[in-house]
Amino acid sequence: MLPTPSTSHVSFDRVYEPAEDSYLLLDTLSSESEKEFLQDRFTHSKPPTSTPPKNSPSPLIIEVGSGSGVVLSFIHAHALTIFGRSDILTAGIDVNPHACQATIQTIRCAEKEQEVSKTSHGFYLGNVAADLTGALRCGEVDVLIFNPPYVPTPNLPSLVGDPKLSAFDADSHLLELSYAGGEDGMEVTNRLIESLPGILSRDRGCAYVLLCAQNKPEVAKEGIRKWGSRWMAETVGSSGKNAGWEKLQIVRIWRESPPISTT
Amino acid sequence: MKVLTLNFLTCAVKACKTTSASFPLVPKECELVSDTIAPNPTLLTNLLPRVDWPALGSIAVALGFPSLSPLPPTPADLENDTKMMADLHTLLLETQISEGSLVCANCGHEYKVKEGIANFLLPNHLV
């Protein structure tokens, strides 16, 4: 098992604390089957070596809702094991500026650990505060990771907190943004999913989105497959089985790549 | 945020998405910091194909760096030109924007950068 990055420096009063959902993402992304999928897609040499094939552009990995940074720094630190190459570009997005700072710090700690043990890591671009993929240029993201606010709630909190809120209420608002998902817990996730055809890279783009049973994952997957014959959506990781229902699952969304051109 | 981040960002205003003027965002009054990063020719060679070269050229000038060559270097150019390799290493891998703004050339909206984090959350009237 690959070590989990430390997040002990993060203040969990206003940033989502890593929980079962975060760990399911780590386990899924480092599973044998996902490593194989990612290495097939982004590296054509096996077993992993530190030299990626010439002229294969560095993949761009973006985590939306990076929170404490535990998932992004895990991928960043273990790039060579997961992708078969360490020349990956990583970046985080979060609506909560405190979460952006937390991610930056967690990445820094993870990089130090890797450097102490003389192992490689990816190249971290930074974090931006934004609403989902709204600030991203079209067609650039190769791997998008999203652990959404998936809890069904009667209302969605506004993206920007009222400046008149007390410090305690401002923190509560930020935490609410990290879990409150509106109707079926899907209002935020649906907006993210709708943006995927535009922001994922044409030939290599794929996304990992976490869903819970109340999100009606089968409906979500069917919806994506209707985008066109190349679009795929499959459950590639799950946890918390309860009478045949997966409590949490990771759905991989991708376009089957066209045949690789040799020119 | 690294200067290279600008290669992947545009204005967050919906109406700007369809215009070419919303990319790249133009750095304005930016404070820069420099990290020390070990030379990494593999990374530099493999990230260059995805860099919009004309956009990077305008960003470099806006940040006070010397202007770039009109055409992007090929992997062979890069291997043979240690100065170009070093300059791109500094610009793309080592330089961070810590404070300042990023301006959309289409709508003029300024996105503030504070402590290295650019804020793309729009005021209500622009959402």
- Of residues A241 and A68, the one with the higher pLDDT is A68
Q: How many beta-carbon pairs under 8 angstroms link A with B? A: 99
Q: The CATH number of the domain where A245 resides is what?
A: 3.40.50.150
**pLDDT for residue B69:** 92
Nearest to B63 by CA among B111, B8, B6: B6
**pLDDT for residue A249:** 96
Which range marks the domain in which residue A153 is found? 20-40+57-255
Does residue A11 sit within a domain? Answer: no
> How many residues are there in chain A?
263
Q: Which of A49, A128, A141 to mutate to test the interface with B (most CBs of B within 10 A)?
A: A128
Which of the four pLDDT bands, split at 50, 70 and 90, describes residue B126? confident
Q: What are B73-120's pLDDT values in tens digits?
A: 999 999 999 999 999 999 999 999 999 999 999 999 999 999 999 999
Q: Is B34 on the interface with A (CB under 8 A)?
A: no
Mark yes or no for CB contact B121/A159 under 8 Å: yes
Does residue A31 sit within a domain? Answer: yes
What does the pLDDT average to over A200-210?
95
Q: What are A147-193's pLDDT values in tens digits?
A: 999 999 999 999 988 889 999 999 999 999 999 999 999 999 999 99
User: Which residues are bridge partners to A255 per DSSP?
Assistant: A231
Q: Other CB atoms closer than 10 Å to residue A214's CB: what's the count?
A: 15
User: b/e string for A187-213 if b means 16 or more Cβ within 10 A?
Assistant: bbbbebbebbbebbbeebbbbbbbbbe
What does the pLDDT average to over A17-43?
95
Is residue B58 within 8 Å of residue B3, measured between CB atoms? no
Domains of chain B in sequence order: 3-126 (2.20.25.10)
Mark yes or no for CB contact A137/B12 under 8 Å: no
Angstrom distance (rounded) from CA A232 to CA A227: 9
Q: State the nearest Cα–Cα gap between B57 and chain A, in angstroms.
A: 18
Does residue A199 sit within a domain? Answer: yes
Residues of chain A with Cβ-Cβ distance to B11 below 8 Å are 135
Mark yes or no for CB contact B2/A125 under 8 Å: yes
Three-state DSSP class for residue B56: helix
What does the pLDDT average to over A90-115?
96
Q: What is the 3-state secondary structure (H, E, C) of A151-198?
A: ECCCCCCCCCCCCCCCHHHHHHHHHHHHHECCHHHCHHHHHHHHHHHH
Structure tokens at B120: 């793309």
Does residue A9 sit within a domain? Answer: no
For residue A243, pLDDT beyond 70: no
Count the domains in chain A.
1
Three-state DSSP class for residue A77: helix
